[in-house]
Amino acid sequence: MATHVRVRHHDRIVEGILDGERIRAEDGAVIARSEAALLPAAAPSKIVCVGRNYAAHAKELGNALPSAPLLFFKPPSALIADGEPIVYPAQSKNVHYEGELAVIVGKRARNVPASRALEIVRGYTICNDVTARDLQKADGQWTRAKGFDTFCPLGPVWVDAADIDLADTRVRTLVNGDVRQDGNTRDFIFSLPIVIEYITAAFTLEPGDVISTGTPEGVGPMQVGDTVEVSIDGIGTLTNRLIAP
């Protein structure tokens, strides 16, 4: 079992393993955690998200269950690290959290059958798929609503693929300490292998790419000043505060 981090240390980006108050970098260096600033848990060329992958969540927004995985992208420019602020955009009056388990891809992948799909998984982290719900509806598609700068908190750490049991992993979201989402990956409509097969039948996944697996029921609004935490058993807690534009 290992907890991996990406950090900025002086002007260098370092990937390594968190060991108490130390970070053991891949190049052998040892860095004090207090001297390093967390970065988003991955540096993807793309962030592929699965919409409506929990039945109870599809229902709460009045949507029919999808007959195939529903995919959309978030831009890498939306990424922020644990502890960085989410900026509430002036264009929206209804910004929601969506706590999600996220996959970090480990190898270049195209046309991967479901039976071999988990071989491309490097590890797992936590994503908050922040969404301007009013703009998602008004725009008729989701690019702007899900793509604002700061709308993709990712981290704080990532863990090895073997450390997460997709058949039973709890995903919770808290706003100012109140539990708003309490789901479990056992309730995925489309399993991760099916999602990976579906994605890679369409386009190539690159090492470092992120797949966010969808959010359980309980989505809702956040306000400026709120603190939002997404907690996933076996990974940790992703914490961000909302600030005014």
Complex with Zn ion: residue 4 or 142, whichever CB lies closer: 142
Binding mask 139-178 for Zn ion (x = CB under 5 A): ----------------------------------------
- The answer to whether 136 contacts Zn ion (rule: CB under 5 A) is no
What's the CA gap between 196 and 109, in Å, rounded? 9
Residues with Cβ < 8 Å from 153, sequence gap 6 or more? 40, 79, 80, 81, 82, 84, 86, 127, 128, 130, 230, 238, 240
Residues in the chain: 245
Complex with Zn ion: residue 15 or 73, whichever CB lies closer: 73
Binding mask 198-227 for Zn ion (x = CB under 5 A): -----------------x------------
Both tokens of residue 24? 């053991």
- The answer to whether 82 contacts Zn ion (rule: CB under 5 A) is no
What's the CA gap between 69 and 244, in Å, rounded? 34
User: How would you label 87-114 residue by residue, b for 16+ Cβ within 10 Å and e otherwise?
Assistant: bbbeebeebbbbbbbbbbbbeebeebee
Complex with Zn ion: residue 16 or 142, whichever CB lies closer: 142
Least distance between Zn ion and beta carbon 135 (Å): 14
CA nearest neighbour of 172 among 235, 103, 93 = 235
Complex with Zn ion: residue 3 or 240, whichever CB lies closer: 240
Q: Which of 82, 84, 98, 209 binds Zn ion (CB under 5 A)?
A: 98
Complex with Zn ion: residue 102 or 159, whichever CB lies closer: 102
Complex with Zn ion: residue 3 or 215, whichever CB lies closer: 215
What's the CA gap between 104 and 138, in Å, rounded? 31
User: Which residue type does 45 have?
Assistant: S
- The answer to whether 129 contacts Zn ion (rule: CB under 5 A) is yes
What's the CA gap between 104 and 196, in Å, rounded? 12
Binding segment (CB under 5 A) for Zn ion, from list 35-43, 82-90, 92-100, 105-113: 92-100
Per rule CB under 5 A, count of chain residues that contact Zn ion: 3
Q: In this structure, what are the phi and psi dihedrals at residue 219, rounded to the nearest 5 degrees?
A: -65, 155
Least distance between Zn ion and beta carbon 190 (Å): 13
Residues near Zn ion (CB under 5 A): 98, 129, 215
